[in-house]
Amino acid sequence: MLNKAQERYLEIIEILKKNPIVTVAELAEHLSVSAETVRKDLNYLAQQKEIVRIHGGAALAAEGEQTPTFSSRKTVRQREKKMLAQNALTLIEEGDSLIIESSTTMVELVKLLVEQPELLKTLVIVTNSFYIASLLEMGKLCARMFFLGGWVNAEEQSAHGQLTSSQLKNFHVDKCLLSGAALGQNLQLSAYYEDDMLFQKQAMKSASCKILLLEEAKYRSSAILSVAPVKDFDYLVTNVKFEQDGIDKLSSSRVRLLYVDTEENKE
C-alpha cells in the first residue's frame, strides 16, 4: 500500500505527462498541500531522475534530461505573459532604444509591438532572439535592429554566451526589458544559467531604465546565480500578490510596482 508521499509522486508524474511545465504553486493547489511539501517532492523526484527542476517548477524528464524547449514554453501561462506584456508596453515611448532579451514573455511583448506599427517603426531594438528578430521581419518593422551574435542555441532560438553579453558593453539604451527566472522572498532576482545571468547583469548596466517582468510562478523561488536585488530596477511588472513585508520593501525602494491582476475575468 502506497503512503501519502508516494501517492503524490505518482500524481505529480501524471500531471506532468499532460502539461509540459508545471509550477510549484500549481502543484500545491492541485494536491492541496503546501508549496514546501511540493518542493520536497520535486527534489526527491529529481534525484530519481523522474523530473527536471526548472524555473520554480518542474518538467517531466526526457532522455538526456533536456530542459523543455523554447517552443514548448511559449504555450505555458501564455495569457498571463501577454497581460504582463500589455502593461509593460505602456512604458515604451516613441523613439526609445530597447534591449529585449530572448524569453517567451518578451515574445508576447514584441507581438503587441507589431500590432502598433506607428510606435514600432520609431524604435531601435537590440536583441539576441532569432524568434524576436523574425517577428520584426529582421528589422524591417522597427527603425533599426541590432542582433547580438554568439554561440547559437537552436533549442532556445537565440545567441548566448559571454561573447553575446560582452557586446552589450558597446550600447547605452533608454530601456532594457528583462524576464525574471526566479525571485526569492528577499526580493533578490536570480538566474538558473550563467549565460542568462551575464546577459541580464550587462543589460541593466547598459540601460537608463530597467524594467523587470515577473510571473507569479517565479516568486519565492531561488536560483543559484545572483542577478540583482529587485530594488535596482525602475519598474516591476508582475502579477505577484506580495505580502505586507514585500510591499514595505518595495515601497522603500525606487522601484515602481505595476501590479497586473491576471485572475480578473479569467475563464
User: 210-234 pLDDT, tens per residue?
Assistant: 999 999 888 887 777 899 999 999 9
User: 110-160 pLDDT, tens per residue?
Assistant: 999 999 999 999 999 999 999 999 999 999 999 999 999 999 988 889 999
pLDDT score recorded for residue 228: 96
Given pLDDT bands bounded at 50, 70 and 90, which one contains residue 101?
very high
pLDDT score recorded for residue 193: 81
26 and 55 in contact (C-beta within 8 Å)? Answer: no
Q: Which of 99, 95, 79 is nearest to 216 (CA)?
A: 79
- Other C-beta atoms closer than 10 Å to the C-beta of 62 total 11
Q: Which residue shows C-alpha cell 527536471?
A: 52
56 has pLDDT over 90: no
Round the average pLDDT of the chain to a whole number and report it.
88
Long-range contacts of 108-114 (CB under 8 A, 24+ apart): 108/78, 108/81, 108/82, 108/84, 109/85, 109/177, 109/213, 110/135, 110/136, 111/82, 111/85, 111/135, 112/82, 112/85, 112/86, 113/89, 114/141
102 and 131 in contact (C-beta within 8 Å)? Answer: yes
pLDDT score recorded for residue 3: 86
For 81, the 3-state DSSP assignment is: helix
Given pLDDT bands bounded at 50, 70 and 90, which one contains residue 71?
low
177 and 101 in contact (C-beta within 8 Å)? Answer: yes
176 has pLDDT over 60: yes
pLDDT score recorded for residue 236: 97
> Which one has a higher pLDDT value, 75 or 158?
158
Q: DSSP letter at 143?
A: S
208 and 173 in contact (C-beta within 8 Å)? Answer: yes
pLDDT score recorded for residue 114: 98
* Phi, psi dihedral angles at 48 (to 5 degrees): -85, 0
Cell numbers linked to 185:
522572498
pLDDT score recorded for residue 7: 86
Determine the Cα–Cα distance for residues 40 and 20; give it in Å rounded to an integer: 20
17 has pLDDT over 70: yes
